[in-house]
């Protein structure tokens, strides 16, 4: 438990003990009214809670922070389509029958739940639930076993700022308005979106900004490798805020934390994934996670504000101050009675006091009439000022917004739904601000007449003016003929595409012909070269043909007689070289002839085409495409010119419609405001008259009691003087003892230096 929280609870218990002692004393001495006041104060002090509201977009890690504060993963972390209701997280001791929670529907019926698991809780809080949560569920109470929630602490989980359910902003704003502190969360990976800053600005405007603490979560994910630090991210957040609201000069102090490492460090479970590791983190690792998270510093800051803020201080001081006032009054009466009994006041003096009291009693009715008359006069002036302020602010807004919309240059800049919503919001804001000023005037008026303002009057003063702007803004769309225009353009484009296909085909044909002609020229050149080569070959082949060679042949034997032989060698002509040469030349010639035949065949395959004619046809097709394009451009330019004229006319009409809507809505709205205001004023006047009357009646009763006491004491002075003196002395001793305790406590409380959330320059 935080030291600040522990000290606060200790001081609170001391005050309860002191008030209880005073209640007992008052009861024993038959001071019933004083005893009841003490009992009421004791009950109120015991009921007093620390209400901490957590606000932020889903990506900011609200559920993780809530779990880290409670020290365990109790609240499930949902998907983007989560909380459509307010969830109150309270200690399990608040459960009447041991239930885990209770669903409260919009019709004020309730349903207890006995399991706070993900599936059950999702059913009643998730925007994608089978139950229409936004329309049917008002809020969800969860009763949890958490040390953080001890001491009457309530954590409030609000709908995300980027939720899709209607009314989230109003729900969240209302919660913060009645909370002890509001934690507004940002994501270090996305330091502030426009919706964040818009909501924060509205929040600071409509709620006490000194109770809002800004939290920068997920600092453990900052990309240090890219030069980012906590300081640079905080500075970037401030710069982003200034971009959206250049006139804003300060922002509440920002506390950097890493909720997820803190949750791992504090949880007894080991099913977390972090930095690539799953579960079973050592004590040393958990200690490092706790230090990394910086959650302890933030929690100390939070508890210091909760226990030492102005609200907490007044909650402790108020019952003690009332006790001191009662004891002071009682002590005065006891001393008067003792003076009477001891003879310090003689009978004539008592009669004079009684006479003066009688005169005062008679004048109180006149005073009541005068006070009521003055009060009504003051209320009438406050009413006139309220209506004057409303009308003046309406005119100022009308004038400023008229200048603003006159700067619109394009009908597309005007979104009727946005304009209508903005005007309605502005109207209600003007009335709300004026009514708040009026209520403050009423409180001042009553402060001058009575000691306390009743809950009934406070309720009528606290409730905002529930008046809606009726009617809707209609801005007629420009009849552009866009559908026909697109059809005509599509027709032109189709013709152009078709023409381009024709051109592409013609271009392909032209290229083919040019390639074919070039190939034919090359082939003809090759054929000519080949024929020339063959002619040269044929001429040379005759010139270099080898001649026949004569040589001696094989020996032959001729018989010249019976026994005589004649050997001779006949001449043989050798044609082999010539034949081989002729064969080789014939092969070469055949090859030439074959190659020439192939070239001639290839040339015959290539058809004759006139390239010039094809080129002229190609240019004609290109010209037609250019004409189509020019015609399309001319049509588009004419259409654009026509649209410009229509849009300018429509823009003028739209501006007039907006101004007319503002004027018409204002007149009707003012009537409704007057009607609503009259109803409230009637209730307030009745209550105020009753308060003033009751105040005077109380004074009358006090004076009557004083007279009665004096008369009784005159009798006591004669009959039971001694016993009365003894009883009064005992009472006086008890009063003095209680007074000392109360004054000591008041001194301790007054010595507390009020803590405030600081503002930082941006």
Cβ-defined contacts of 561-568 (< 8 Å, 24+): none
Residue 528 phi, psi dihedral angles, 5° rounding = -60, -45
Segment 222-227 long-range contacts (CB within 8 Å, at least 24 positions apart)? 222/188
Please report the domains of the chain, with CATH numbers, ordered by start residue.
49-308 (3.40.50.300)
Which position has the higher pLDDT, 352 or 138?
138
* pLDDT level of residue 80 (50, 70, 90 thresholds): very low
Residue with tokens 């599509």: 490
Neighbours of 270 (CB within 10 A): 10
Q: How confident is the model at residue 360 (pLDDT cuts 50, 70, 90)?
A: low
- Which residues, 6 or more positions from 456, have their beta carbon under 8 angstroms from its beta carbon? 687
Q: How many helices (H) and strands (E) does the chain have?
A: 19, 17
Q: How confident is the model at residue 322 (pLDDT cuts 50, 70, 90)?
A: confident
**Given this model, what pLDDT does residue 459 score?**
58
Side-by-side strand order, sheet with 50-55: 110-113, 101-105, 137-144, 86-91, 153-157, 50-55, 181-187, 212-217, 254-256
More confident: 30 or 76: 30
Q: Which long-range contacts (CB under 8 A, 24 or more apart) does 99-107 make?
A: 99/143, 100/142, 100/143, 101/140, 101/141, 101/142, 101/143, 102/140, 102/141, 103/137, 103/140, 104/137, 104/138, 104/139, 104/140, 104/141, 105/136, 105/137, 105/138, 106/135, 106/136, 106/137, 106/138
Mean per-residue pLDDT, 51-57: 86
Q: Give phi and psi for 114, each to the nearest 5.
A: -115, 10
pLDDT at 99: 87
CB atoms within 10 A of CB 357: 16
Residues 6 or more apart whose Cβ sits within 8 Å of residue 266: 68, 71, 72, 290
> Rounded to whole angstroms, how far apart are CA atoms 400 and 404?
6
Which single residue is written with the structure tokens 């009637």? 682
Tens of pLDDT, residue by residue over 241-295, are 888 887 788 888 899 999 999 999 998 887 788 887 877 888 898 999 999 999 9
Helix segments in 294-408, DSSP class H: 295-308, 310-341, 347-406
Q: Which tens digit of pLDDT belongs to each residue from 549-590?
A: 777 777 777 766 666 667 777 777 777 888 888 888 888 889
Res 719: pLDDT:
54
Q: What is the DSSP letter of 101?
A: E
Within 10 Å of residue 284's Cβ, how many Cβ atoms? Answer: 8
Asked whether the predicted pLDDT for residue 338 surpasses 90, the reply is: no
Q: What's 247's DSSP letter?
A: T
Q: Which residue did the predictor score with more confidence, 165 or 508?
A: 508
Please provide residue 181's backbone torsions phi and psi, each rounded to the nearest 5 degrees. -155, 150
Which DSSP string do the residues of 140-199 spell out, in sequence order? EEEEE--GGGTTTEEEEEPPPTT--STTHHHHHHHHHHTSSEEEEEEETTB---HHHHHH
Tens-place pLDDT, residues 99-151: 888 888 877 788 888 876 666 776 766 555 555 555 577 788 888 888 888 88
Rounded Cα distance between 106 and 748, Å, is 45
- Pairwise pLDDT comparison (182 vs 546), residue with the higher score: 182
Band (pLDDT 50/70/90 cuts) for residue 641 is confident
Q: What is the pLDDT of residues 707-716, one digit of tens each?
A: 666 666 556 5
pLDDT band at 314 (very low <50, low <70, confident <90, very high): confident
Cβ(106)–Cβ(135) below 8 Å: yes
pLDDT at 527 over 70: yes
pLDDT more than 70, % of the chain: 78
Position 319 scores a pLDDT of: 87
- Average pLDDT, stretch 538-545? 78
Could you say which DSSP state residue 83 is in?
B
Inform me whether the pLDDT recorded for 309 exceeds 80.
yes
What's residue 456's pLDDT?
52
Band of residue 453 on the pLDDT scale cut at 50, 70, 90: very low
Q: At what angle do helices 259-266 and 283-293 cross, to 10 degrees?
A: 150
Residue 490 structure tokens: 């599509």
The DSSP bridge partners found for residue 549 are 574
pLDDT one-digit tens code per residue, 676-708: 777 777 766 776 666 666 666 666 666 666 666
**Highest mean predicted confidence (pLDDT) among 368-382, 430-444, 527-541:** 527-541
Widest pairwise Cα distance in the chain: 219
Helix or strand or coil: residue 51? strand
Exposed / middle / buried, residue 312 (Cβ in 10 Å: 0-12, 13-18, 19+) = buried
The rounded distance, in Å, linking the Cα atoms of 479 and 638 is 16
Judging by DSSP bridges, how do beta strands 137-144 and 101-105 pair with one another?
antiparallel
Q: What is the pLDDT of residue 290?
A: 93
What is the structure's pLDDT at 635? 84
Residue 6 pLDDT more than 50? yes
* pLDDT score, position 256: 94
Give the mean model confidence (pLDDT) for residues 450-474: 61
CA dihedral 70, 73, 75, 76 (to 10 degrees): 160
pLDDT of residue 654: 79
d(CA 135, CA 106): 8
Given this model, what pLDDT does residue 346 score? 55
The per-residue pLDDT for 695 is 62
Whole-number Cα distances in Å, 467 to 375, 395, 397: 26, 19, 18
Q: Greater confidence, 471 or 588?
A: 588
Residue 711: the pLDDT is 63
What would the mean pLDDT of 203-210 be, rounded to a whole number? 68
pTM for the predicted model, two decimal places: 0.54
Question: What does the pLDDT average to over 656-672?
Answer: 80
User: Quick one: pLDDT at residue 25?
Assistant: 92
Confidence band (pLDDT; 50, 70, 90) for 395? Answer: confident
Instruction: Give percent above pLDDT 90 in the chain.
Output: 10
∠ Cα 355 357 359 (to 5°): 70
What is the reported pLDDT for 478? 63
- Residue pair 576/588 in contact (Cβ under 8 Å)? The answer is no
CA atoms of 78 and 551, how far apart (whole Å): 117
The band of 390, judged by pLDDT with boundaries at 50, 70 and 90, is confident
Residue range 333-349: mean pLDDT, rounded: 68
Q: How far apart are CA 461 and CA 454, in angstroms?
A: 11
> pLDDT at position 81, please?
46
pLDDT of residue 13: 92
Decide if pLDDT at 16 tops 90: yes
Is there a contact between 254 and 230 (Cβ–Cβ < 8 Å)? Answer: no
Mean pLDDT of the chain: 79
Indicate whether 607 pLDDT > 80.
Answer: no
CA distance 334 to 339: 9
């Amino acid at each position: 438990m935080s030291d600040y929280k522990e000290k606060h609870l200790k001081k609170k218990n001391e005050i309860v003990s002191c008030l209880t002692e005073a209640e007992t004393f008052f009861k024993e001495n038959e001071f019933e009214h004083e005893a009841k006041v003490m009992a009421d104060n004791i009950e109120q002090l015991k009921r007093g809670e620390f209400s901490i509201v957590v606000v932020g977009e889903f990506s900011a890690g609200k559920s993780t922070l809530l779990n880290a504060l409670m020290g365990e993963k109790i609240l499930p972390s949902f998907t983007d389509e989560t909380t459509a209701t307010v969830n109150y997280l309270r200690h399990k001791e608040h459960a009447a029958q041991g239930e885990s929670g209770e669903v409260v529907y919009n019709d004020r019926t309730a349903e207890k739940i006995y399991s706070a698991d993900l599936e059950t809780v999702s059913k009643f809080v998730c925007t994608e639930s089978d139950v229409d949560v936004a329309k049917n569920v008002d809020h969800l109470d969860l009763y949890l076993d958490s040390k953080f929630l001890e001491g009457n602490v309530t954590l409030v989980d609000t709908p995300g700022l980027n939720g899709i359910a209607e009314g989230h902003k109003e729900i969240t704003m209302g919660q913060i308005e009645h909370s002890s502190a509001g934690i507004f969360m940002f994501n270090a990976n996305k330091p502030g979106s426009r919706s964040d800053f818009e909501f924060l600005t509205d929040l600071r405007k409509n709620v006490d900004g000194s109770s809002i603490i800004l939290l920068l979560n997920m600092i453990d994910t900052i990309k240090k490798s890219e030069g980012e630090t906590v300081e640079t991210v905080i500075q970037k957040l401030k710069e982003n805020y200034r971009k959206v609201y250049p006139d804003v000069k300060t922002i509440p102090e920002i506390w950097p934390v890493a909720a997820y490492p803190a949750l791992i460090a504090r949880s007894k479970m080991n099913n977390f994934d972090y930095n690539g590791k799953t579960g079973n983190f050592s004590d040393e690792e958990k200690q490092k996670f706790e230090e990394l998270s910086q959650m302890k510093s933030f929690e100390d800051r939070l508890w210091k504000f909760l226990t030492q803020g102005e609200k907490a201080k007044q909650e402790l001081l108020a019952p003690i101050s009332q006790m001191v006032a009662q004891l002071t009054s009682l002590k005065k009466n006891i001393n008067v009675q003792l003076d009477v009994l001891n003879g310090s006041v003689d009978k004539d003096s008592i009669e004079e006091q009684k006479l003066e009291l009688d005169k005062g009693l008679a004048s109180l009715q006149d005073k009541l009439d005068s006070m009521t008359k003055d009060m009504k006069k003051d209320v009438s002036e406050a009413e006139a000022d309220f209506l004057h302020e409303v009308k003046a602010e309406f005119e100022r807004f009308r004038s400023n917004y008229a200048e603003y919309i006159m700067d619109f240059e394009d009908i597309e800049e005007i979104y009727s739904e946005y304009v209508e919503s903005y005007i309605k919001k502005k109207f209600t804001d003007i009335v709300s601000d004026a009514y708040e000023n009026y209520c403050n005037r009423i409180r001042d008026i009553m402060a001058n007449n009575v000691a306390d303002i009743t809950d009934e009057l406070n309720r009528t003063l606290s409730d905002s003016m529930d008046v809606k702007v009726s009617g809707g803004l209609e801005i007629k769309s420009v009849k552009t003929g866009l559908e026909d225009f697109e059809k005509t353009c599509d027709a032109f484009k189709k013709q152009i595409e078709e023409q381009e296909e024709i051109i592409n085909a013609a271009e392909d044909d032209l290229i083919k012909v040019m390639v074919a002609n070039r190939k034919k020229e090359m082939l003809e050149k090759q054929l000519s070269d080949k024929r020339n080569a063959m002619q040269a070959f044929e001429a040379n082949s005759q010139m270099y043909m080898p001649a026949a060679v004569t040589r001696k042949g094989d020996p032959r034997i001729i018989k010249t007689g019976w026994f005589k032989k004649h050997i001779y060698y006949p001449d043989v002509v050798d044609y082999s070289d010539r034949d081989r040469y002729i064969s080789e030349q014939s092969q070469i010639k055949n090859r030439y002839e074959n190659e020439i035949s192939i070239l001639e065949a290839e040339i015959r395959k290539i058809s004759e085409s006139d390239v010039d004619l094809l080129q002229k046809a190609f240019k004609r097709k290109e010209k037609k495409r250019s004409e189509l394009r020019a015609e399309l451009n001319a049509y588009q330019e004419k259409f654009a010119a026509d649209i410009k004229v229509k849009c300018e006319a429509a823009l003028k009409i739209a501006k007039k419609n907006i101004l007319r809507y503002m004027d018409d809505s204002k007149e009707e709205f003012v009537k409704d405001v007057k009607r609503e205001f009259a109803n409230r004023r009637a209730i307030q006047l009745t209550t105020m008259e009753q308060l003033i009357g009751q105040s005077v009646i109380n004074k009358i009763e006090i004076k009557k009691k004083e007279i009665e006491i004096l008369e009784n004491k005159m009798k006591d002075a004669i009959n039971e003087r001694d016993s009365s003196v003894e009883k009064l002395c005992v009472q006086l001793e008890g009063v003095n003892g209680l007074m000392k305790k109360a004054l000591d406590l008041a001194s301790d409380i007054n010595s507390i230096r009020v803590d405030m959330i600081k503002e930082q320059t941006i």
